[in-house]
């Protein structure tokens, strides 16, 4: 680093008029009060340097390095005689801190004067390291020399920017970064954040590390899994990020992404299934306070899945596309029977205060304590979002605004662009007692069309959407209300539930007509941690039921969907479902098991019966076959059984890279086979290595 090119001291120009009316005088220490005027500057210099020599302590770590150099301090003595440090140039932050401390210990003195009035004086002093007893001679400096010194100092700015590396301290564990949301990863700390007496809020996901770190020590958890030896290759393989960099003011990590799978579907016409994902994962933070974080992940993927999954992906394709890979995005054809589906996710996360976090990016959100969510789930493709999380007292309030797409042929405009629509949600979580949490949810979807302007009222972060929908007209938006609850029976058992209300008619309830207007759904669930005293074994049971036509709208553009996928339960509506899940991990080994029993009512669409029976949220509810007698499962009743068992080994906890093997069994049994719905019986074997950053939902 270039030396800071100020002179030793910028002594003021001493000038006298013959009658003494113009006079400039330096600051005066008490010991200099009896010194002749022409010696005051020299006395001031000596006092400052003597104080530095007697009080400056070179930090031990720097002394051990036998460092030789300078600490250049620009300071002033203000009109009250107080010393103030303006700038310090030094190789080490510790030297800057010590120089600041030494100058803060200087006492107030008599300020400098100009024409008899107090004024401030600026000086620069270089401190030699190791510390020596410096002698300084005052020097008169012309204004030209002062300007040149400042210019020279400016030219050293680039070299003065600190590039000093410090030991990497896993700052992500206390940062504003989101913990990648996968059910298996969150199960590891789910018990900790649900202990009786905690003031945590567990529904709005993904969580940020800083929020969870109060209940779960990520550093200790990762260190307990450490298995690397001293070699760099071993550490990068088993324990660390591929690239990790930390300086005084910022940090970041860079890792490759892999999702390489190969398998066999016994019901498929092709020989094998596969997925080939490569990508890059970047995360980091700016500032010493760790309040600003950023993340970006880019995936390049090609794949061919089980036959039932491929068929579903093609059934929800966009107007000009081959398929939509559920949960990922639009896919092009790759070769003759595979898909190419690139995905990018990124966000900025900032916490200007301890009670507030704001995020803006492209990704997924989830609201709920269950495996499914009837409010907002991560079943659909990533979308652009703005999210505000506010925490105070026993409350957490989450506002989310999302930019969604309708990619059906009917949603394209004259230029070929897909229709944009918008979704806004409010979720208020209140810890009513040590054991009981209550949540209130509301959302609205609206679109800007040729006949309607953008509805600015829905941007309000507090207002009730139902009231706005009523004021602006039913076709202005699709508003939904929800209620959630969680009760902690004890530290190892908690129950949870959701109730979603799209539309409700009390008169039709009383009459027992089972009207189509009563569009609602509910969820009931229970979690059992350390089940039967087996540490790290979690069992979960969940029941979901949603009536026909819930989430749909009379204007099919205002459905509760994005990229032809539901923003809530991936089955849409008109279904009931029972789920059993078990998760276990020991050291780096893990195992998961899941069983789903479901019944849903699908459409026939066979040319003779083209009614909407309420499962497809992308159809208008005006296509219903009747107004009364509407039951869950009406239409082409289809029973579904899905089971999956997975076991694997966590290769690197820093990146959540794991190797796994699993087998899935799916029995899909409709009452009537149609062109789009037919009986299917699948056994799907799979083996792979994966950077586990998001949830795959193959239980269609």
% residues pLDDT > 90 (the chain): 66
pLDDT above 90 (res 1): no
**Least confident residue range of 136-150, 252-266, 605-619:** 136-150
The pLDDT assigned to 140 comes to: 40
Q: Report which of residues 30 and 674 the model is more confident about.
A: 30
The single-letter DSSP state of residue 371 is: S
- Residue with structure tokens 């030896």? 229
The answer to whether residues 572 and 622 touch, using CB atoms and an 8 Å cutoff, is no
pLDDT above 90 (res 617): yes
**Least confident residue range of 161-165, 457-461, 585-589:** 161-165
The pLDDT assigned to 455 comes to: 66
Confidence of residue 92 (pLDDT cuts 50, 70, 90): confident
The answer to whether residues 24 and 113 touch, using CB atoms and an 8 Å cutoff, is yes
Confidence of residue 135 (pLDDT cuts 50, 70, 90): low
pTM given for the model: 0.79
- Exposed e or buried b for every residue in 275-295, given b needs 16+ CB within 10 A? bbbebebebbbeeeebbbbbb
Tell me how far apart the alpha carbons of residues 325 and 329 are, in angstroms, rounded to a whole number. 5
The pLDDT assigned to 12 comes to: 35
Average pLDDT along the chain: 88
Q: Are strands 329-334 and 323-325 parallel, antiparallel or unpaired?
A: antiparallel
pLDDT above 90 (res 470): no
pLDDT above 50 (res 5): no
User: How big is the CA angle at 55 (ends 53 and 57), to the nearest 5 degrees?
Assistant: 95
pLDDT above 90 (res 557): no
The pLDDT assigned to 8 comes to: 33
pLDDT above 70 (res 465): no
Q: Report which of residues 465 and 269 the model is more confident about.
A: 269
pLDDT above 50 (res 15): no
% residues pLDDT > 70 (the chain): 89
Strand partners, 467: none
Distances in Å between the Cα of 668 and the Cα atoms of 187, 381, 677 are: 29, 24, 9
Q: Are strands 589-602 and 636-652 parallel, antiparallel or unpaired?
A: antiparallel
Nearest to 329 by CA among 656, 694, 614, 665: 694
pLDDT above 90 (res 331): yes
pLDDT above 90 (res 450): no
Interval 428-456 mean pLDDT: 85
The pLDDT assigned to 643 comes to: 98
pLDDT by residue (tens digit) across 304-314?
A: 999 999 999 99
Interval 597-611 mean pLDDT: 90
pLDDT by residue (tens digit) across 198-250?
A: 999 999 999 999 999 999 999 999 989 998 787 889 999 999 999 999 988 89
The pLDDT assigned to 9 comes to: 35
pLDDT by residue (tens digit) across 634-690?
A: 999 999 999 999 999 999 999 999 999 999 999 999 999 887 788 989 999 999 999
pLDDT by residue (tens digit) across 100-134?
A: 999 999 999 999 988 788 888 888 888 888 888 87
Interval 58-78 mean pLDDT: 87
Instruction: Dig out the tokens for 267 from the structure.
Output: 């019901």
> In 298-447, which ranges are continuous DSSP H helix?
307-315
Tell me how far apart the alpha carbons of residues 638 and 50 are, in angstroms, rounded to a whole number. 90
Q: Give the H or E element holding residue 123.
A: strand 121-129
The pLDDT assigned to 384 comes to: 97
Confidence of residue 137 (pLDDT cuts 50, 70, 90): very low
Q: Report which of residues 676 and 195 the model is more confident about.
A: 195
pLDDT above 60 (res 471): no
Q: Give the H or E element holding residue 250.
A: strand 250-265
Nearest to 404 by CA among 367, 451, 364: 364
The pLDDT assigned to 653 comes to: 96
pLDDT by residue (tens digit) across 475-528?
A: 567 889 999 999 999 999 999 999 999 987 666 665 567 899 999 999 999 999
Tell me how far apart the alpha carbons of residues 368 and 377 are, in angstroms, rounded to a whole number. 8
Which segment, 143-157, 266-280, 452-466, is predicted with the most confidence on average? Answer: 266-280
Confidence of residue 27 (pLDDT cuts 50, 70, 90): very high
């Amino acid at each position: 680093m270039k030396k800071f090119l100020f002179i030793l001291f910028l002594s003021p120009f001493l000038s006298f008029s013959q009658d003494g009316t113009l006079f400039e005088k330096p600051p005066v220490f008490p010991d200099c009060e009896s010194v002749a005027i022409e010696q005051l500057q020299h006395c001031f210099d000596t006092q400052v340097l003597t104080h530095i020599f007697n009080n400056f302590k070179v930090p031990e770590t720097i002394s051990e390095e036998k460092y030789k150099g300078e600490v250049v301090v620009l300071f002033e003595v203000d009109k009250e005689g107080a010393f103030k440090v303006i700038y310090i140039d030094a190789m080490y932050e510790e030297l800057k801190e010590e120089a600041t401390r030494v100058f803060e210990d200087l006492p107030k003195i008599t300020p400098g004067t100009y024409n008899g009035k107090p004024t401030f004086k600026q000086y620069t002093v270089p401190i030699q390291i190791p510390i020596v007893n410096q002698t300084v001679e005052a020097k008169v400096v012309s204004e030209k020399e002062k300007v040149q010194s400042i210019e020279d100092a400016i030219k050293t700015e680039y070299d003065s920017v600190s590039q000093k590396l410090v030991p990497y301290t896993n700052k992500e564990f206390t940062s504003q970064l989101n913990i990648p949301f996968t059910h298996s990863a969150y199960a590891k700390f789910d018990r900790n954040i649900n202990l009786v007496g905690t003031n945590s809020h567990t529904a709005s996901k993904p969580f940020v590390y800083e929020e969870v770190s109060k209940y779960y020590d990520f550093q200790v958890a990762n260190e307990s899994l450490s298995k690397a030896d001293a070699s760099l290759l071993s550490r990068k393989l088993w324990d660390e990020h591929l690239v990790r960099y930390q300086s005084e003011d910022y940090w970041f990590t860079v890792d490759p992404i892999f999702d390489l799978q190969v398998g066999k579907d016994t019901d498929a016409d092709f020989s094998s299934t596969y997925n080939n994902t490569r990508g890059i994962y970047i995360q980091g933070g700016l500032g010493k306070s760790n309040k600003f974080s950023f993340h970006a992940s880019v995936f390049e993927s090609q794949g061919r899945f089980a036959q039932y999954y491929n068929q579903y992906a093609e059934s929800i394709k966009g107007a000009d596309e081959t398929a939509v890979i559920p949960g990922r995005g639009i896919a092009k054809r790759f070769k003759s029977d595979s898909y190419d589906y690139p995905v990018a996710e990124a966000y900025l996360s900032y916490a200007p205060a301890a009670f507030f976090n704001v995020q803006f990016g492209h990704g997924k959100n989830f609201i709920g304590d269950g495996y499914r969510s009837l409010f907002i789930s991560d079943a659909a493709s990533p979308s652009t979002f703005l999210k505000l999380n506010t925490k105070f007292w026993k409350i957490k309030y989450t506002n989310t605004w999302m930019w969604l797409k309708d990619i059906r042929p009917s949603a394209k405009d004259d230029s070929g662009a897909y229709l944009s629509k918008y979704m806004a949600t409010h979720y208020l979580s209140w810890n009513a007692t040590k054991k009981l949490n209550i949540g209130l949810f509301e959302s609205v979807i609206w679109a800007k069309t040729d006949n309607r302007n953008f509805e600015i009222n829905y941007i309000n972060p507090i207002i009730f959407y139902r009231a706005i929908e009523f004021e602006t007209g039913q076709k202005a938006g699709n508003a939904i209300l929800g209620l959630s609850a969680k009760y902690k029976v004890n530290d190892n058992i908690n129950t949870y539930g959701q109730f979603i209300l799209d539309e409700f008619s009390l008169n039709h309830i009383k009459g027992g007509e089972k009207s189509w207007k009563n569009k609602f759904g509910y969820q009931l669930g229970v979690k059992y941690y350390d089940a039967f005293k087996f540490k790290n074994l979690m069992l979960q049971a969940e029941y979901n039921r949603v009536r026909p036509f819930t989430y749909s709208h009379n204007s099919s553009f205002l459905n509760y969907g994005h990229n032809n996928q539901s923003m809530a339960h991936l089955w849409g509506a008109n279904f009931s479902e029972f789920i059993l899940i078990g998760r276990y991990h020991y050291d780096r080994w893990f195992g998961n098991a899941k069983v789903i029993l479901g019944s849903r009512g699908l459409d026939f669409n066979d040319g003779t019966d083209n009614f909407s029976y309420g499962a497809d949220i992308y159809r208008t509810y005006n296509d219903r076959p009747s107004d009364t007698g509407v039951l869950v499962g009406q239409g082409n009743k289809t029973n579904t059984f899905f089971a999956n068992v997975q076991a694997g080994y966590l290769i690197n906890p820093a990146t959540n890279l794991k190797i796994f093997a699993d087998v899935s069994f799916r029995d899909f049994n409709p009452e009537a086979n149609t062109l789009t719905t037919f009986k299917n019986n699948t056994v799907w074997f799979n083996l792979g290595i994966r950077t586990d950053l998001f949830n795959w939902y193959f239980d269609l």
